[in-house]
């Protein structure tokens, strides 16, 4: 990403929008994968780290993150 587009809150706005849309659609939750350095970022939105993913995309280590929207 170009430096002028970093630290403007765009990612947070996008994540919040996706969460709201999922709620509107009565979804049970959202699942995503991210690299270790982003785990704490997604936790701020309520996602829980479920550990290392089975994904080996790009030869990287990924974490499964889950946000439950329904009980």
Does the reported pTM lie above 0.95?
no
Q: pLDDT confidence of 71, banded at 50, 70, 90?
A: low
Per the listing, tokens 């709201």 go with 20
Measure the CA–CA gap between 4 and 11, rounded to whole angstroms. Answer: 14
Residue 38 has pLDDT above 90, yes or no: yes
pLDDT per position as a tens digit, 2-19: 888 888 999 999 999 999
Mean pLDDT of the 30-58 span: 97
What pLDDT was estimated at residue 70?
Answer: 81
CATH code given to domain 3-68: 3.40.630.30
Burial letters 1-24, b for 16+ CB under 10 A, else e: eeeeeeeeeeeeeebeeebeeeee
Q: Return all residues near 12 (Cβ < 8 A) that are at least 6 apart.
A: 45
Where along the chain do its domains lie? 3-68
């Amino acid at each position: 990403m170009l430096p002028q587009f970093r630290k403007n809150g765009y990612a947070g706005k996008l994540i919040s929008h996706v969460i709201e849309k999922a709620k509107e659609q009565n979804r049970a939750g959202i699942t995503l994968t991210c690299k270790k350095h982003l785990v704490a970022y997604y936790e701020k939105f309520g996602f829980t780290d479920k550990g290392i993913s089975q994904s080996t995309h790009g030869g990287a280590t990924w974490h499964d993150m889950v946000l439950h929207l329904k009980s």
